Amino acid sequence: MSQVPGPDPEDVERWAALAARDARADGRFVYAVRTTGVYCRPSCASRAARPENVTFHGTCAEAEAAGFRPCRRCRPDEPGLAGRRADSVARACRLIEAAETMPSLAELARAAGLSAYHFHRVFKAATGVTPKAYAAAHRAAVLAARLPGAASVTEALYEVGYGAASRFYEEGAPRLGMAPAAYRTGGAGLRIRFGIGDCSLGAILVAATDQGVCAILLGDTPDALVRDMQDRFPAAAIEGGDPIFETWMAQVIGLVEAPGGGLDLPLDIRGTAFQQRVWEALRRIPVGSTASYAEIARAIGLPAATRAVAQACGANPIAVAIPCHRVVRSDGALSGYRWGVARKRDLLAREAER
């Protein structure tokens, strides 16, 4: 709870949002007025209260616990426009996931209570992809889960709704990162080149498929890094790098030693649609800067997904090139890092020097 403006950056941000009646702040906090006993959304059109009578609360429950009641004008205890849109998108996602065939745009829009044009815009703004792309990603994910136990690749393709194998190769194959038969057998037939070296952060493993760098792993011992890679692709053809790959590896080590210089190499980034949105947001954080998990969640249009953002950061297999080390807690403190907080601190210090 906060009162009149003070040095706390969060207070300054809240007062600025309140002064601007910024609807983007709705859901992040509410403000209460002592003289009326009412709490409101930041965007509420009611008359501005005197600063000394205003208190801030993180949630409606906190405001009500302090003895305030919801405003009848802005109804902060009910879903706002953003909440209704989020519900519509979530409902559409459930329909897509449950359907045997992709529902038409008109059917999804009707279920959401929106026009087809408006629904398409709202869905893409919330998820980062179109309904068609979301359906393709979901179907590919289901296929990936079923392939290991399927009697055959063809059987798995038809079970998840691909009417023909050609349809899968048009839209689903790139999401597996390999042929479905190779995925089904733990990467059998997939060629992964890799190399291990030393850098100032310890041991480093760089791996690449024919599509690009698929892993940059940091650790204390080379053996642990190799086991990590082998666990991901137990049946892949893992081999040492050729001269071209050795050049790639030198560039990666150069990036680790001088983070922020950029990596001019193709990346083979594999993950869910959500993970890829988070990782893309990480790559937009400027060198020498940091962002909180909450800020990343807001940047991808899902302010309530802070915990999921943290999980996506932890699942990132490409260190430094996808800079999850630039994500910190809301108070600025360093939090967990897949390759150790000490390495995270070192990387940030190097970027700050640059």
Among candidate residues 283, 277, 308, the one with its CA nearest the CA of residue 293: 308
Amino acid at 92: A
Q: Is 40 a catalytic residue?
A: yes
Number of Cβ within 10 Å of residue 351's Cβ equals 20
Number of Cβ within 10 Å of residue 223's Cβ equals 11
From 40, 44, 93, 214, the catalytic residue: 40
Q: Assign 3-class secondary structure to the chain.
A: CECCCCCCHHHHHHHHHHHHCCHHHECCEEEEECCCCEEECCCCCCCCCCHHHEEEECCHHHHHHCCCEECCCCCCCCCCHHHHHHHHHHHHHHHHHHCCCCCCHHHHHHHHCCCHHHHHHHHHHHHCCCHHHHHHHHHHHHHHHHHHHCCCHHHHHHHCCCCCHHHHHHHCHHHHCCCHHHHHCCCCCCEEEEEEEEECCEEEEEEECCCCEEEEEEECCHHHHHHHHHHHCCCCEEEECCHHHHHHHHHHHHHHHCCCCCCCCCECCCCCHHHHHHHHHHHCCCCCCCEEHHHHHHHCCCCCCHHHHHHHHHCCCECCCCCHHHEECCCCCCCCCCCCHHHHHHHHHHHHHC
Q: Which residues pair with 215 in a beta bridge?
A: 207
From 44, 74, 214, 324, the catalytic residue: 324
C-alpha 94/C-alpha 275 separation (Å) is 19
Token digits for 154?
A: 């063809």
Active site residues: 40, 324
